[in-house]
Amino acid sequence: MDINFPLILLWLVVITGAIWLVDSLFFARRRQQDAEEPVLVEYAKSFFPVLAIVFILRSFVVEPFQIPSRSMVPTLQVGDFILVNKYAYGLRLPISRKKVLDIGEPERGDVMVFFPPHMNETYYIKRVIGLPGDEIRIEDNVLYINGERASQELIQALPPANPQVEVMWEEIDGERHLMARHIEPSRFANFSGVVPEGHYFMVGDNRDNSLDSREWGFVPERDIVGKAFAIWMHWEDLFSLPSFERVGSIQ
């Protein structure tokens, strides 16, 4: 089961704030001037401001995530720690996900964090390929959006001695990003459909090794979390040292 960290953080803010408030209103004045505060109250007063600031920042400004899978290789590697802009697509209330302020909309090529329709409490990260109303067609891993082919440029085939995967530049709406595809296409290499209104078509950059909208369908606008914009650290596992070689913006 996935841990609902935002909900836990919200409850910690509410509990510590309530303890501090109740003590201030009903008990602080009754204590003798030189009497010590109860330990619980002391901890609540210490932690409440910190927890409240963290909650506000994570809910409305920026939230950190760690990449757990290879579905976005070569753009994102397992162990990358990334930052996600929580207001790029509008301000949303935590937990309920209700949008309260429109600021911007997803664009083709954005790397976006969201909740997929088949696992609605689990964070996923993919690239926005299709906007509402777009006609999407994929033929042997070649992408067509509204009948227009996305250009692809081969960078290298890996491994060199016996190539199995091609690493390529792909260009969508004038912006380039990296992608990988198997020389022998998988069952995900072909797709066609029209993106419904209020939904988005999401695909991993590791095209033949990604479960995405080709498998579980389109992502509703209400399930958007935010736009991934930077890698700030790479730490693959507990038996390795953190690295900052991959620090930079996400293309």
What are the pLDDT digits (tens) for 193-232? 999 999 999 999 999 999 999 999 999 999 999 999 999 9
- The stretches in the chain having pLDDT less than 50 are 1
- Is the separation of the CB atoms in 199 and 219 below 8 Å? yes
Q: Clarify whether 186 is annotated catalytic.
A: no
Tell me the pLDDT tens digit for each residue of 100-124: 999 999 999 999 999 999 999 999 9
Which of 59, 86, 126, 210 is catalytic? The answer is: 126
Please tell me whether the peptide bond between 185 and the residue prior to it is cis, using omega within 30 degrees of 0. Answer: no
Q: Clarify whether 71 is annotated catalytic.
A: yes
pLDDT (0 to 100) of residue 187? 87
- The domain locations on the chain are 5-60, 65-249
> Taking the alpha carbons of 182, 184, 186, 190 in that order, is the dihedral positive or negative?
positive
Instruction: Give the fold, CATH level 3, of 65-249.
Output: Umud Fragment, subunit A (2.10.109)
Compute φ and ψ for 109, nearest 5 degrees. 95, -15
pLDDT (0 to 100) of residue 122? 94
pLDDT (0 to 100) of residue 33? 64
pLDDT (0 to 100) of residue 30? 77
Gap between the Cα atoms of 88 and 228, Å rounded:
10
Q: Distance of alpha carbon 230 from its chain centroid, rounded?
A: 11
User: Which of 244-250's residues contact partners 24+ apart within 8 Å by CB, and which partners?
Assistant: 246/77, 246/80, 250/75, 250/76, 250/82, 250/111
Q: Following DSSP, what letter does each residue of the chain receive, concatenated?
A: ----HHHHHHHHHHHHHHHHHHIIIIITTTS-TTPPPPHHHHHHHHHHHHHHHHHHHHHHTEEEEE--SSTTTTTS-TTEEEEEESSTT-EE-TTT--EEE------TT-EEEE--TTSTTS-EEEEEEE-TT-EEEEETTEEEETTEEPEEEEEEEESTTS--EEEEEEEETTEEEEEEEESS--GGG-EEEEPPTTEEEEE-SBTTS--SHHHH-PEEGGGEEEEEEEEEEE---TTS--B-TT-EE--
Burial of residue 3 (CB within 10 Å: 0-12, 13-18, 19+) is exposed
Which of 71, 86, 210, 213 is catalytic? The answer is: 71
